[in-house]
Structure 1
Amino acid sequence: MSTRYAGIAWTDTGYRVEVLDGAGRRVVEPSDWGAAQVAELIAWLEELGREQPLAAVFESTNGLLDGPMTAAGLEVYRADPWLLPPRPRFGSVPARLLAQTARSSPGELARVTAEGGTLTGRADEYFEGVRRSEPVREALTAAGRCFEHGRRDTPRIALTFDDGPDPVHTRRILEILDRYGVRATFFCVGHHVAALPDEVRRIASAGHELGNHSWSHPFLPDLTPDQLREQIDRTAETVARVTGEAPLWFRPPYGALTPQVLAALDGHPSTLALWDVDSRDWARPGPERIAETVLKAAAPGSVVLMHEGAGDRGQTVRALPSIIEGLLERGLEPVTVGELPGLSTGRD
């Protein structure tokens, strides 16, 4: 039985899906799904996959679907830029083209795994880019335009959550933070901000801080300078429309930086916000392991990376009380990134 190919393109409002069979014939009419309808999209793809083998295909500027899709057991592939024509300034290549590329060149696609995520098969390229960018990063850090952590002489620590907001996990995280009376920073993707503005307002009204995490969670080295700035600026504008204030911090998806990416960001008003403690919750190792990883590495001034969206973050939610209690027992006060000593908010 031949495989069907579901090309999934991202747009400013959600996703466009086209499904072709092995002969290139359309299986169903093209469909559009809002950014808040990922669960429904996955259920629809699962149903199609019961009839006949199905491969879901997206490209490297869509970093929001691999987590929930691989967790659901779907067969997921990435079509890399060298297989595709240039994409538009905002949005991915068309869904039909993604499906056609998968059908005509299935052996050229990267099979995405839960462990490797969107960048499965490109880890060497990622680490090489980070290595080459280190001199520029050091200069930006010295100038106060980039940070991994705050000062080490004050017992404060920043808990940060990426990829939201999420219709389920954001509220659960907010409830836990409120229970302990601590604040955090939420690095949101524009795709989700536009789809779930009430959740963003809920974060802000609870006194937490918002950061910019791009629009579609792309692998930044695959973007042109204009595409990169468009991702950041649209997200900032959307957050500002919802809350009245644009984020100060920009966190690059995956922490993926190259000299070219940093050159494209030169002169941009956002400060690069990285981290020094990776909870590795994205690997879903279990809540106990997540808490252990954070508490073992945390130190005064640390910035802790966790996730609230773009996947099943139930383990993060269950780990959070142990993390907060462990930090408080050690005398480390969880605060927002902007409240870490040594980091200027630019609004003083």
Structure 2
Amino acid sequence: MKKDQLLTRRRALLAGTAVLGAAGAGTAGLLLSGSGPDTAPVRPAAPAAGPPARAVEAVKPSAYRLAPLAGYGPPPGNGPQRLEVRHEPYLRMSGRGRTMLLTFDDGPDPRYTPHILDTLAEYDVRATFFVCGEQADWNRRLLSRMADEGHVVGNHTWSHPLLTKLTRSRIRSEMERTTQVIVDAYGERPQWFRAPYGAWNRAAFQLGADLGMEPLAWTVDTNDWTRPGTRSIVRTVESGAAPGVVVLSHDAGGNRSQSVQALRDYLPRLLDSGYHLTVPRRTTA
């Protein structure tokens, strides 16, 4: 399959507007925005730059699932937007009313991500997916589906390493390779970045800004990676619900059946309680 056959419908539309130019420089703040297909793993015709990616089955969840240490963007132009370098990630988002963000890390995984997308579609809710490049590279159709259904895809590095142990060149490679996969399959440059394990350092902030990405962490950690039980995950989300909260869950990196079921339980309850589940949006100066 030729590379241009992997373009999503969304990217085809964006290509028509790319000639209008890239977005203006700088960021003034962050806001909250309103909120089938074949999902089998697909091997790309040409791998991303660097060592060949491993198949999903070959990635051992234990290799990168440790306890955390702690968008709707412009069309892709000639390069990333220039950003001010932050010294800490955003932990929550500003917005009006009872707004919250749902975020899912480490995917996409063909065993769990489609079920999460199905639930979000059922309730017409948008979420943010921080994807790992080596997972996304084999599951580009799931990124295409995310684009088609209005979700935001963020950069979660290529192989989910501990960035504080890497050189600047390795960190840049982890970010750039993942960005390229997202652009090819999703149709837009990622505007958001999340460090694996929540382990941020100066190099991560600087390189993320160089690539046009803002750092987004979380407010409520479901700890679903420990498989505490569906009811425990639901209680954590519901007890932590509040305006501006960013919820951390996972759609890959291990058995995520509890995360899938928990979403089906707490999502309608949050909506019934008057919460608006949305995605992050940046504003330009």
- Fold equivalence (TM over 0.5): yes
Contact 1:278 1:304 in 2 (8 A): yes
Match of 2:57 among 33, 37, 45: 37
More helix by share: 1
Equivalent residue for 2:52?
13
Contact 1:185 1:208 in 2 (8 A): yes
Equivalent residue for 1:65?
60
Superposed displacement of residue 297, structure 1: 0.8
CA offset digits 1:113-164 (Å, max 9, x no partner): xxxx446xxx8xx56xxxxxxxxxxx827xxx84111126421111111111
Equivalent residue for 1:305?
248
Contact 2:105 2:251 in 1 (8 A): yes
Match of 1:204 among 132, 147, 158: 147
Superposed displacement of residue 65, structure 1: 2.3
Distance 1:217 1:329, change over 3 A: same
**Percent of pairs identical after alignment?**
35
Equivalent residue for 2:272?
329
Superposed displacement of residue 244, structure 1: 1.8
Contact 1:189 1:213 in 2 (8 A): yes
Q: Secondary structure at the match of 2:86?
A: helix
Equivalent residue for 2:122?
179
Who wins on radius of gyration, i.e. which is larger? 1
TM-score (normalised: structure 1)? 0.59
TM-score (normalised: structure 2)? 0.71
Taking the aligned partners of 2:253 and 2:283, their CA distance within structure 1 comes to 28
Q: Does 1:287 align with 2:230?
A: yes
Letter in 1 for 2:60: L
Taking the aligned partners of 1:155 and 1:163, their CA distance within structure 2 comes to 27
Letter in 2 for 1:272: P
Equivalent residue for 2:186?
243
Contact 2:98 2:276 in 1 (8 A): yes
CA RMSD of aligned residues (A): 2.4
Taking the aligned partners of 2:251 and 2:107, their CA distance within structure 1 comes to 6
Equivalent residue for 1:28?
none
Distance 1:200 1:264, change over 3 A: closer
Equivalent residue for 2:86?
140
The count of residues paired between Structure 1 and Structure 2 equals: 222
Structure 2: runs of 5+ lacking an equivalent: 1-49, 71-84
Taking the aligned partners of 1:171 and 1:242, their CA distance within structure 2 comes to 16
Contact 2:193 2:215 in 1 (8 A): yes
Give every structure 1 segment of 4 or more consecutive aligned residues whose post-TM-superposition deviation is greater than 4 Å: 263-266
Taking the aligned partners of 1:187 and 1:265, their CA distance within structure 2 comes to 14
CA offset digits 1:169-218 (Å, max 9, x no partner): 01111111111111111111110111111111111111111111100000
Letter in 1 for 2:257: G
Q: Which has the higher contact order (CA 8 A, sep 6+)?
A: 2
